[in-house]
A and B are shown apart, each in its own frame.
Chain A
């Protein structure tokens, strides 16, 4: 297993480098020059040229890339050209917010999607299955920004049950930072009031974000369970008199969720990119809203850093998924 993990880690490196190259090319080859905006109101071409020089935008693209890769190799993501602060520190306080939201959405999608998919398979072609099909197709098709606004209007504006926006109430000190994940930190410090406040804030964004993933997981699980239920060992188990519940929820499910598990890994990438819109709507202070501001201001170092960090997280999650996959099905580890 150690060899398997190491191989997966090594395979991730060229992928990350490729990501860096592609993003850099896209950002720097396409017309994207913040110098004039930085130089200020009515700046003369000479002032703009001075800014361009100061930031190294006048260097050939290949040279800019070599310098940037050198910086990244030294774990230096550079300074934001807009905020004039290290990009790493700008992102550092936002990243836990995005990770918390994405994992909450993923957890919700898995915890609800797998049982729903299993039930749809067990009762396939029943009214429940048909309703599930509509719900899952709907879940994949519904635009998250529309759904988010509906949730805000119903649960916050009309019913007043949940806060409309933000990660935590304005002006109230957040949980003591241990991991940066408010739900975890509040539990670790046994501050259940803080947990409750954080929980109330994350419900709507996490639910919105999870919708597409939930539908996807449910459909993969349904297909997997249906296929497994046709296998001989299930018939043997039934013939041997095992309880149906045990057969489905233990034996069938374990053999069916391999595809869904892989799907969860892929979903993480989708969720973290969808988080951009969800964070903007719910005023969630994550890297998504930071990326939006960075794109609008052509703050290319910030955009590169966000892309790279999200890429690293995506790679790590996929390695974890592969490991889980290998644990569920040891044949996988042998093939790699």
Chain B
């Protein structure tokens, strides 16, 4: 046989085999969901705490209380209810007695105690919410269904922060503890929960993918959902355009909840997908370092607050998919004064205030810097808009690209904190404490949330009092007063409260948004077709 004949023959045979062979690759199953949102950096719910972790945690783990709906309501979950002592120090939770972990072992009060001790022992993630008020040894279990927390001092937002803590299965984790690491290395790629979905660890690839399988034995049952999703395939698609195209094409069922506003119409026009538009509790804020001249001058800060083109940004850039927020507390949360007047865009007023600041000795000619998060386009856009208008009133603003880890590290000291930087404050827990409490009480100086280094004794007193009181009406009044002061002193520039935009395929039914976890609550979702 000639070489050419041999090659042609072999090629033809291979081609026939390839083309002619049946494509035995399964189509998508009707009861599976492909959820293309960011995955947390690792899967240990006590080692990390951010928005992607919330989205994972609410499905794989249970918590004593949980948030539901929008605006979010705190509902008993593993707990049947709780009581608080009159002095606000002792919190007692009663548990359901029929809850089982994924391995079938019972979830008891001892597991709750161990979970809190683990969180406080690791000192990462959500631990910061509890470390100032809770000693690990003061979490006890008098019996199998009772957990008692004795706080160091009264702290009313404690209940709001309880959903931050996943209850983990000690029996699964402890055999995997190495070098007193509380099992963090192991739990980073496994699960030890009791939640509505179970991680399939074989499918887990860090930052890329994880499959979750339905837990048919979840203690809440499945009576509320006749067609539950059996498998949720979490996929992290880095590129926004690809995510959107994949949604429209039907390759995925959901994007993240920060769809670019210029893509909303495109998705809505498609026959395959829609966009869920939900007002969240996530405030965009331009931080100002109140300890660095000239930003230590209140009139200079007010001038900057009047120099930002809010309408231009919200309508022009965000196409009105955002709600102007006058102060630090999201306008749709209690504690935010309803009559709070936001700073308006007025360059004449800004010039006047600059002149005042100059007369007071502020070095207004010093160029200032604003640090943006370079992979988040909106931070650049906001900085550029401010830069243009500041130039018109004689202030030089330099834009410095940066990244979240570096920025949060820099906020430990006033001298290393940038003049200005841009970020959002998301819903970690639903209480004004999450926003104004931790952003403007000087006790939090050194943390990124309090990185404006604002200091006002009156505000400190109001916020500390608000933490102590259990009467919400009184707390509301205190937060409102604190908000008015902070806004009047232009501690920062608050821009908007987010409308989360999540692309959803038409297959998805029952999606309900809640700011905690951005609506990634799979137990209520069904898929059709």
A residues engaging B (CB < 8 A)? 31-45, 47-48, 50-51, 79-80, 82-85, 90, 93-94, 149, 152-153, 156-157, 163-165, 169-172, 192-197, 199, 280-283, 285, 289-290, 292-293, 295-298
Contacts and interface: CB of A to CB of B under 8 A. Distances in A.
B25 A172 contact: yes
A85 B185 contact: yes
Nearest to B412: A45
Contact of B404 (A37, A193, A283, A292): A37
Interface residues of B, number: 68
Contacts of B188: 83-85
Interface string B24-52: 11101100101000000110100111100
Given A171-B29, A171-B233, A298-B403, A41 B428 contact: yes
A199 B15 CA distance: 13
Given A79-B185, A193-B24, A285-B208, 18 more contacts: A36-B405, A39-B124, A42-B448, A47-B123, A84-B185, A165-B251, A170-B251, A171-B29, A193-B21, A195-B18, A280-B239, A281-B239, A281-B242, A283-B235, A289-B208, A290-B207, A296-B404, A297-B405
Contact of B408 (A36, A79, A152): A36
A41 B125 contact: yes
Contact of B189 (A31, A83, A290): A83
B250 to A, nearest CB: 10
A194 B22 CA distance: 10
A196 B21 contact: yes
Contacts of A149: 241
B287 to A, nearest CB: 15
Interface in B438-483: 438, 444, 446-449
A315 to B, nearest CB: 27
Interface string B293-313: 000000000000000000000
B28 A164 contact: no
B245 A32 contact: no
Given A36-B412, A80-B206, A293-B207, A280 B42 contact: no
Interface string B182-197: 0011001100000000
B381 interface: no
A292 B403 CA distance: 12
B18 A196 contact: yes
B34 to A, nearest CB: 6
18 contacts: A33-B405, A45-B412, A48-B412, A80-B206, A82-B41, A84-B185, A164-B242, A165-B251, A169-B26, A170-B28, A196-B18, A285-B209, A290-B208, A293-B238, A295-B403, A296-B403, A297-B41, A298-B403
Contacts of B49: 40-41
Contacts of B444: 42
Interface string B201-237: 0000111110100000000000000000001010101
B139 interface: no
Contacts of B131: 44, 47
Nearest to A33: B409
Interface string B397-411: 000000111101111
Interface in B150-195: 184-185, 188-189
Contacts of B242: 152, 164-165, 281-283
B375 interface: yes
Of the candidates A38, A42, A84, A164, the one having the most CB atoms from chain B within 10 angstroms of its own CB is A42
Contacts of B123: 39, 47, 50
Contacts of A85: 42, 185, 188-189, 206
A163 B406 contact: no
Given A36-B411, A157-B245, A171 B32 contact: yes
Given A45-B412, A157-B245, A296 B428 contact: no
B44 A84 contact: yes
Contacts of B245: 152-153, 156-157, 164
A193 B22 contact: yes
Contacts of B184: 84
A194 to B, nearest CB: 8
Contact of B249 (A45, A156, A195, A296): A156
Contacts of B208: 285, 289-290
B48 to A, nearest CB: 7
Q: Considering the complex of A and B, which 6 residue pairs feature the smallest CB-CB distances, nearest first? A: A36-B408, A84-B188, A83-B206, A82-B41, A298-B405, A33-B409
A38 B409 CA distance: 10
B229 to A, nearest CB: 13
B446 to A, nearest CB: 4
A296 B128 contact: no
Contacts of A32: 405-406
A292 to B, nearest CB: 6
Interface of B: 17-19, 21-26, 28-29, 32, 34, 41-42, 44, 47-50, 123-129, 131, 184-185, 188-189, 205-209, 211, 231, 233, 235, 237-239, 241-242, 245-246, 248-249, 251, 375, 403-406, 408-412, 428, 438, 444, 446-449
B449 A48 contact: no
A83 B249 contact: no
A90 B209 CA distance: 12
A80 to B, nearest CB: 7
B28 A171 contact: yes
Contacts of A152: 241-242, 245
Contacts of A199: 18
A268 B278 CA distance: 47
A94 B236 CA distance: 14
Contacts of A298: 403, 405-406
Contacts of A153: 245
A164 B249 contact: yes
B377 to A, nearest CB: 14
B462 to A, nearest CB: 19
A209 to B, nearest CB: 15
Contacts of B248: 157
A211 to B, nearest CB: 18
Contacts of A38: 124
Nearest to A290: B207
B29 A43 contact: no
A79 B41 CA distance: 13
Given A149-B241, A297-B41, A40 B409 contact: no
B237 A165 contact: yes
A32 B444 CA distance: 23
A57 B522 CA distance: 39
A37 B408 contact: yes
Contacts of A164: 242, 245-246, 249, 251
Of the candidates A33, A44, A50, the one having the most CB atoms from chain B within 10 angstroms of its own CB is A44
B173 to A, nearest CB: 14
Of the candidates B19, B24, B32, B211, the one having the most CB atoms from chain A within 10 angstroms of its own CB is B24
Given A47-B128, A84-B44, A171-B32, A285 B23 contact: no
Nearest to B410: A31
B427 to A, nearest CB: 11
Nearest to B445: A45
A192 B21 contact: yes
Contacts of B409: 31, 33-37, 48
Contacts of A285: 205, 208-209
A172 B27 CA distance: 9
